[in-house]
Chain A
Amino acid sequence: MPETIPHDSVGLVTPQSMHFDEPLTLRSGRVLESYDLTFETYGALNADNSNAVLICHALSSDHHAAGYHSMDDKKPGWWEACIGPGKPIDTNHFFVVSPNNLGGCSGSTGPTSINPETGKHYGPDFPICAVRDWIRSQKRLADKLGIFQWAAVVGGSLGGMQALRWSLQYPERIKHSVVIASAPKLSAQNIAFNEVARQAITNDPDFHDGHYYEHNTFPKTGLAQARMLGHITYLSDEGMGSKFGRDLSNGEFNFDFNAEFQIESYLRYQGEQFTSRFDANTYLLMTKALDYFDPARAYDNSLTKCLSQVECDFLVMSFSSDWRFSPQRSEEIAEALIEADKNISYMEIESDKGHDAFLMPIPRYMDIFSAYMKRVAKEVNEGVTA
């Protein structure tokens, strides 16, 4: 709980919601007749609506990217390190829009919402969304907010994939794309991790084929296991080693199967915490969106050919110890953009924090990110249009 709001925080924020009646045909062919998007905004929109920045969230986050919902909140939004006055995404300059994705479980229409056709929870019947479906829904949100062109679309991990997809799907509506700790598609290993996570959830006896709401139960064990597995891939061996080492809770071996090593307690705690805020069907859906993402597939698997249609400038960043989406994956994006004659800057940030580094205020990362966003802000002020 913050006793006072830090001066570089956006402060107390209230999520907003917008209803959309126009049916949305999804990549799967299924149609969402209507839906709601929950989102937060920080900062103020300028007179010509040119200073808007879209934040795209990752697998397990939501619209609450910065600030606090109340003075009782234990933690601020998930990207507090990067959004706020004087921070890389400087709310003194930008109007920041941060939506919860369709299929999410934090307010936007998703498996936990009531299906108006049946009067019951969508549950497992909620259509699996592709990244492009999210972009279409975000574009409609932009339309309603009167934002024609984003000064920048920014995201890490799955959010970075959305920032990349935006540049392809609506090239004229995005000026800069900031793709952090991301990849142009998942590797077999990435998909394998997602599959184990899904198996953990769907094999939980409380899962009931996804209809657990009707059974008044929840696949808590499976979702916690999925989160524990995910969490391992978000940290580096080095980072985990320096944080937990082989430390024991009691200092001695117990010769039983309770959590003894600190890392075990930590993972169990993380898993447990996650189940109190996240929905299992949403987790399944988000991992599928990740698995399916492969924009080059429609272009003879040539990322260069695919990216030749983008018009925006790119900042691509990776982290040295990230093995979930390693620097090589970001370099694939950078190489294709260079070959496609696009404006691109790329940096690999030195860090032992693994994939999660993109959420943290690492000085070098903040320097580069700030420098780039200052340039974006400068262009906004100078009225440079694409």
Chain B
Amino acid sequence: MSMNNLRADLDIIKDWIPSNSQVLDLGCGDGEFLQYLKQHKNVLGYGLEIDSDKITECVCKGVNVIEQNLDSGLANIKNNSIDTVVMTQALQAVKRPDQLIDEMLRIGNEAIITFPNFGHWRTRLYLINKGRMPVSETLPYHWYDTPNIHLCTFKDFEALCYRKGITIKHRMVVDQTHHEHWFYNLWPNLLGDIAIYHIGRK
């Protein structure tokens, strides 16, 4: 764990966000990340969130929060108005991840996306052994009640980026506890639990 108590994936991506820049956090939760960026990097941040308790927590923290459902689109935010658009652990839960990625790169110069990797060896083994939809610490739901309606693998995500002509600036792989290890990067699609991508337009 790092000294700042930031969730481990956030601890990694914070370094990809320049000081004094603007950040839009899609599904910002309780505003922990934006609060950190405001305090430590003088970032002007806005979070979008739909959970009312989390919105209240953002307000308490003094984090800018807009009540908005990601599935309703981001048409209210202007082109190129934000430096970095961040979406952590939400890509797999939106209706059209492909369209949302387009929107992220329309609004922002860069985007940072983290998602659970469905290609992890444990997931593959679960399906082979049990013949049932994998349930794990990273993906703790059943097939019928999961909010994760668009699970994908590293390879799937990169194929989508390739098709859309999106540049991958950084890629990181971490395990369930969001820790990284050098050998995860040897076979990321097999060994990585959580994918962290920093992308931009060509």
- Which chain A residues have a beta carbon within 8 Å of chain B's beta carbons? 315, 331, 334-335, 338-339, 341, 343-348, 364, 367-368, 371-372, 374-375
B56 touching A338, Cβ below 8 Å: no
State A384–B36 Cα separation when bound (angstroms).
19
Query: Which 3 A-B pairs rank lowest in CB-CB distance, beginning with the nearest?
Result: A371-B59, A347-B67, A346-B66
- CB closest chain-A residue, reference B38: A343
Please judge, given known A-B contacts A335-B77, A338-B77, A339-B78, whether A375 and B59 are in contact too, CB under 8 Å. Answer: yes
Q: Indicate whether B101 reaches chain A with its CB closer than 8 angstroms.
A: no
Given contact pairs A339-B78, A345-B58, A368-B59, a sample of 7 additional A-B residue pairs in the complex whose CB atoms are under 8 Å apart: A334-B66, A335-B77, A338-B46, A345-B59, A346-B65, A368-B56, A374-B60
- Specify which chain B residues have a CB less than 8 angstroms from the CB of A345 in the assembled complex: 58-59, 63-66
State A348–B55 Cα separation when bound (angstroms).
11
- CB closest chain-B residue, reference A304: B78
Most buried by A among B44, B46, B66, B78: B66
- Specify which chain A residues have a CB less than 8 angstroms from the CB of B22 in the assembled complex: 341
- Specify which chain B residues have a CB less than 8 angstroms from the CB of A348 in the assembled complex: 67
Q: What's the nearest-Cβ distance from chain A to residue B53, in Å?
A: 9
- Specify which chain B residues have a CB less than 8 angstroms from the CB of A344 in the assembled complex: 46, 64, 66
Partner of A338 from B55, B63, B81 at Cβ < 8 Å? B81
Q: What's the nearest-Cβ distance from chain B to residue A180, in Å?
A: 14
Partner of A375 from B62, B66, B67 at Cβ < 8 Å? B62
- Which chain B residues have a beta carbon within 8 Å of chain A's beta carbons? 22, 44, 46, 52, 55-56, 58-60, 62-67, 76-78, 81
A contacts with B: majority SS: helix
Please judge, given known A-B contacts A338-B46, A347-B67, whether A371 and B81 are in contact too, CB under 8 Å. Answer: no
Partner of A335 from B52, B55, B58, B76 at Cβ < 8 Å? B76
- CB closest chain-A residue, reference B67: A347
5 A-B pairs whose Cβ atoms sit less than 8 Å apart in the complex: A338-B66, A345-B64, A347-B55, A371-B60, A372-B59
- CB closest chain-A residue, reference B81: A339
State A341–B82 Cα separation when bound (angstroms).
9
B64 touching A343, Cβ below 8 Å: yes
Q: What's the nearest-Cβ distance from chain A to residue B60, in Å?
A: 5
Q: What's the nearest-Cβ distance from chain A to residue B69, in Å?
A: 10
- Specify which chain B residues have a CB less than 8 angstroms from the CB of A341 in the assembled complex: 22, 44
State A347–B62 Cα separation when bound (angstroms).
14
State A343–B63 Cα separation when bound (angstroms).
9
Q: What's the nearest-Cβ distance from chain B to residue A91, in Å?
A: 20
State A196–B46 Cα separation when bound (angstroms).
41
- Specify which chain A residues have a CB less than 8 angstroms from the CB of B56 in the assembled complex: 367-368, 371
A375 touching B60, Cβ below 8 Å: yes
State A338–B78 Cα separation when bound (angstroms).
9
- Specify which chain B residues have a CB less than 8 angstroms from the CB of A367 in the assembled complex: 52, 56
Q: What's the nearest-Cβ distance from chain B to residue A381, in Å?
A: 14
- CB closest chain-B residue, reference A328: B76
- Specify which chain B residues have a CB less than 8 angstroms from the CB of A339 in the assembled complex: 78, 81
- CB closest chain-B residue, reference A375: B62
Please judge, given known A-B contacts A338-B46, A344-B64, A346-B66, whether A331 and B52 are in contact too, CB under 8 Å. Answer: no
B52 touching A364, Cβ below 8 Å: yes
Q: What's the nearest-Cβ distance from chain A to residue B72, in Å?
A: 11
Q: What's the nearest-Cβ distance from chain B to residue A385, in Å?
A: 15
State A345–B22 Cα separation when bound (angstroms).
15
- Specify which chain B residues have a CB less than 8 angstroms from the CB of A335 in the assembled complex: 76-78
- Specify which chain B residues have a CB less than 8 angstroms from the CB of A347 in the assembled complex: 55, 67
- Specify which chain A residues have a CB less than 8 angstroms from the CB of B44 in the assembled complex: 341, 343
- Specify which chain A residues have a CB less than 8 angstroms from the CB of B76 in the assembled complex: 331, 334-335, 338
State A128–B136 Cα separation when bound (angstroms).
68
- Specify which chain B residues have a CB less than 8 angstroms from the CB of A372 in the assembled complex: 59
- Specify which chain A residues have a CB less than 8 angstroms from the CB of B65 in the assembled complex: 345-346
State A315–B65 Cα separation when bound (angstroms).
10
- CB closest chain-B residue, reference A364: B52
Q: What's the nearest-Cβ distance from chain B to residue A298, in Å?
A: 22
State A335–B77 Cα separation when bound (angstroms).
7
- CB closest chain-B residue, reference A350: B52
- Specify which chain A residues have a CB less than 8 angstroms from the CB of B62 in the assembled complex: 375
State A343–B42 Cα separation when bound (angstroms).
13
Q: What's the nearest-Cβ distance from chain B to residue A177, in Å?
A: 14
Q: What's the nearest-Cβ distance from chain A to residue B128, in Å?
A: 45
- Specify which chain A residues have a CB less than 8 angstroms from the CB of B59 in the assembled complex: 315, 345, 368, 371-372, 375
- Specify which chain B residues have a CB less than 8 angstroms from the CB of A343 in the assembled complex: 44, 64
- Specify which chain B residues have a CB less than 8 angstroms from the CB of A338 in the assembled complex: 46, 66, 76-77, 81
- CB closest chain-B residue, reference A314: B64
Q: What's the nearest-Cβ distance from chain A to residue B22, in Å?
A: 7
Most buried by A among B60, B64, B65, B76: B64
- CB closest chain-A residue, reference B63: A345
State A367–B67 Cα separation when bound (angstroms).
14
State A345–B59 Cα separation when bound (angstroms).
7
